Amino acid sequence: MSLSEVKQKIVQIAHEFSAKYGEEVFQIRADELIAYISSQFNYEEWLIFKHNEYELLKLFVEIVKQDLQSQNK
């Protein structure tokens, strides 16, 4: 498992999250969001996520924002 594979999985999780929860992402605390994302990973993916947490969390939120903006157009 590589960082790029984890990034791809983050994108997938973000798309699923935005479809399911929408704008709730803006009301969720960072620790809750991290717990939600972490629950989607196996141990190896989780280690990569924890090592790159800030970057990957930022990617997650950006993808959700893009999804929400495209839905509002």
What is the pLDDT at residue 43? 96
Angle 3-9-12 (CA atoms, 0-180°, nearest 5)?
A: 150
Summarize pLDDT for 14-34 with one digit per residue, the tens.
999 998 888 877 888 989 999
Q: Please determine, for residue 73, whether its predicted confidence score (pLDDT) is greater than 80.
A: no
Cβ pair 10, 37 in contact under 8 A: yes
What residue spans define the domains of the chain? 3-71
Length of the chain: 73
Summarize pLDDT for 54-66 with one digit per residue, the tens.
999 999 999 999 9
Q: What's the pTM?
A: 0.87
Q: Kindly compute the dihedral angle of the four CA atoms of residues 58, 21, 50, 44, in this order, to the nearest 10 degrees.
A: -130
Q: Please determine, for residue 72, whether its predicted confidence score (pLDDT) is greater than 80.
A: no
